[in-house]
């Protein structure tokens, strides 16, 4: 386990249910004699093949695979990850987690996140368009996102409206016994942020979990889908539930000061205009700057409202990630949208995510027009996705989603005056390559964690995927992307 060089070591005599990759060593002993599997490792392809044993041939009183199952829910020893580790993912191969990345993540898990046993999935970061817009007055535009997929052989895409809230993962159990079975914790589930922190205070979370459980039973969800739980990826609104301090300190305060200062300067320039005609250009500039400040002030307020009870909260799911017997990563996004429409029709806490399908030039133009309409009204924008959850071109994993944000919304990201020529020219030189690489690694880790969790793998094996995604987030990347 302490192996650190580039030499690959394949070993056994320590049966595990699945191949285990740590620090460039692979355990391929899946306990065939104990009724497990006989595993082969193909090199240099780095692929596995396995055959299930017909029975337990050992005749031993103690079965290490049975012992492993008994200890499956034991919390992992975080110390084994602290010097860095590797995760063998199905979609991207080996993903390395380096010590300088993992240490902040271990600290976060130790002090701030929900219980490790419940932290089963962390969603990936999302990149904006790989190329900036070719249009003079835009930084982002749907055309570049659509062209990215089309150039990679994807001709059917999904455009989903991007709700302006905070990303939330909902792990909702049928009952406390089901939760105990899968996590070792008696609860109705948990709701946490993209960084693994509890989304709500304990009282609000409990109220939401009770109501959601009631709603799911009301729609006969657990019986209809024969599952102990449902794992949802969602946007939770309003934005000010999680971003109240950010809104107050960075947006409301900045907007108020800018409007006051620019109004005063505009008034002074107007008064001085009679004696100095050369001030016209300066006055025109500050008229535009004042308009920018007003638009900046208006845009973030659309995402905020008072929350006086759980009935003021809206949950917009866009992925039904998993049930207790399956991860739904093989389903097209239209299936996920249909499932979330069903949830929204049966529960007042859930809201629908609007979407359109792109197949040809006409539907592309329709989506662009839709994007212009909703972003012109101050909404954040669209998410463009390939038809299927996992998309590849010639074996290369593609971005799972690309966000396309509107001109108005981007004022709160890049500043109220970002559309001025000198600012926009500079921003059009941005580089998203690091963000894209991070998104792919985190996506692969998330998928691997889902597969492991739904197949009954150990909490330790699931957690190394979640911890890996959290670790990736410690890498410095322009937060505006």
Residues 6+ apart with CB under 8 A from 297: 252, 255, 256, 259
Residue % of the chain over a pLDDT of 90: 60
Distance CA(155)–CA(359), nearest Å, equals 6
Residues 6+ apart with CB under 8 A from 76: 116, 459, 460, 463, 464
Say what the pLDDT of residue 275 is.
65
Mean pLDDT computed over 130-153: 95
pLDDT tens readout for residues 429-450 = 999 999 999 999 999 999 999 9
Phi and psi at 276, nearest 5°, equal -150, 95
Mean pLDDT computed over 256-262: 84
Burial of 77 (0-12, 13-18, 19+ CB in 10 A): exposed
The encoded tokens of residue 218 equal 């009301």
Structure confidence at residue 288 as a pLDDT band (50, 70, 90)? confident
Structure confidence at residue 22 as a pLDDT band (50, 70, 90)? low
Structure confidence at residue 284 as a pLDDT band (50, 70, 90)? confident
pLDDT tens readout for residues 391-422 = 999 989 999 999 999 999 998 889 899 899 99
Say what the pLDDT of residue 375 is.
94
Query: Whose structure tokens read 């979990």?
Result: 209
Mean pLDDT computed over 187-192: 97
Query: Is-contact 104 474, C-beta < 8 A?
Result: yes
Say what the pLDDT of residue 88 is.
85
pLDDT tens readout for residues 349-380 = 999 999 999 999 999 999 999 999 999 988 99
Distance CA(237)–CA(253), nearest Å, equals 22
Among residues 167, 186, 191, 169, the alpha carbon closest in space to that of 310 is found at 191
pLDDT tens readout for residues 32-68 = 998 889 999 988 887 888 899 999 898 888 888 888 7
Distance CA(40)–CA(46), nearest Å, equals 10
Strands lying side by side in the sheet with 229-237: 189-193, 166-173, 229-237, 314-323, 326-327
The encoded tokens of residue 477 equal 């990347």
Say what the pLDDT of residue 364 is.
97
Say what the pLDDT of residue 383 is.
97
Maximum alpha-carbon separation in the chain = 104
Q: Is the pLDDT of residue 117 over 90?
A: yes
The encoded tokens of residue 375 equal 């972003």
For the chain, the average pLDDT equals 90
How far apart, in Å, do the first and last CA atoms of the chain sit? Answer: 37
Say what the pLDDT of residue 178 is.
96
Distance CA(77)–CA(130), nearest Å, equals 39
Burial of 34 (0-12, 13-18, 19+ CB in 10 A): buried
Strongest mean pLDDT among 42-51, 87-96, 127-136, 236-245? 127-136
Q: Is the pLDDT of residue 299 over 70?
A: yes
């Amino acid at each position: 386990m302490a192996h650190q060089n580039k030499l690959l070591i394949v070993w056994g005599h320590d049966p595990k249910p699945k191949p285990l990759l740590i620090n460039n060593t692979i355990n391929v002993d899946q306990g065939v004699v104990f009724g497990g599997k006989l595993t082969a490792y193909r090199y240099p392809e780095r692929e596995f093949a396995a055959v299930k044993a017909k029975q337990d041939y050992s005749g031993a009183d103690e079965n290490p695979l049975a012992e492993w199952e008994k200890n499956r829910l034991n919390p992992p020893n975080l110390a084994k990850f602290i010097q860095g580790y590797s995760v063998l993912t199905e979609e991207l191969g080996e993903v390395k987690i380096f010590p300088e990345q993992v240490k902040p993540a271990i600290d976060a898990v130790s002090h701030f996140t929900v219980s490790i046993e419940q932290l089963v999935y962390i969603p990936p970061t999302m990149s904006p368009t790989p190329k900036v817009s070719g249009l003079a007055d835009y930084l982002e535009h749907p055309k570049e996102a659509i062209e990215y997929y089309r150039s990679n052989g994807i001709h059917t895409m999904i455009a989903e409206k991007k709700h302006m809230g905070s990303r939330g993962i909902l792990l909702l159990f049928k009952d406390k016994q089901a939760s105990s079975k899968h996590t070792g914790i008696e609860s109705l589930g948990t709701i946490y942020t993209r960084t693994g922190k509890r989304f709500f205070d304990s009282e609000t979370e409990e109220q939401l979990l009770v109501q959601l459980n009631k709603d799911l039973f009301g729609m006969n969800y657990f019986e209809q889908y024969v599952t102990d739980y449902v794992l949802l990826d969602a946007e939770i609104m309003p934005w000010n539930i999680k971003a109240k301090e950010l809104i107050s300190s960075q947006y409301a305060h900045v907007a108020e000061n800018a409007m006051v200062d620019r109004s005063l300067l505009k008034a002074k320039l107007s008064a001085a205009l009679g004696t100095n005609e050369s001030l016209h250009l300066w006055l025109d500039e500050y008229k535009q700057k004042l308009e920018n400040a007003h638009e900046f002030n208006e845009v973030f307020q659309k995402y905020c409202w008072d929350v006086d009870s759980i009935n003021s909260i809206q949950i917009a799911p866009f992925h039904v990630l998993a049930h207790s017997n399956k991860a739904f990563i093989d389903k097209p996004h239209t299936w996920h949208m249909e499932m979330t429409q069903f949830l929204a029709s049966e529960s007042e806490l859930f809201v629908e995510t609007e979407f359109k399908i792109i197949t040809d030039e006409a539907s592309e133009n329709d989506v662009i027009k839709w994007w212009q309409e909703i972003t012109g009204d101050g909404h954040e924008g669209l998410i463009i996705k390939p038809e299927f959850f996992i998309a590849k071109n010639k074996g290369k994993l593609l971005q799972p989603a690309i966000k396309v944000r509107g001109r108005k919304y981007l004022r709160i990201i890049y500043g109220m005056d970002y559309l001025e020529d000198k600012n926009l020219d500079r921003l059009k030189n941005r580089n998203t390559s690091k963000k894209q690489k991070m998104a792919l690694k985190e996506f692969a880790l998330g998928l691997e964690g889902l597969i492991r969790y739904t197949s009954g793998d150990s909490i330790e094996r699931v957690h190394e995927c979640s911890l890996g995604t959290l670790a990736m987030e410690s890498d410095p990347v322009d937060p505006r992307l």
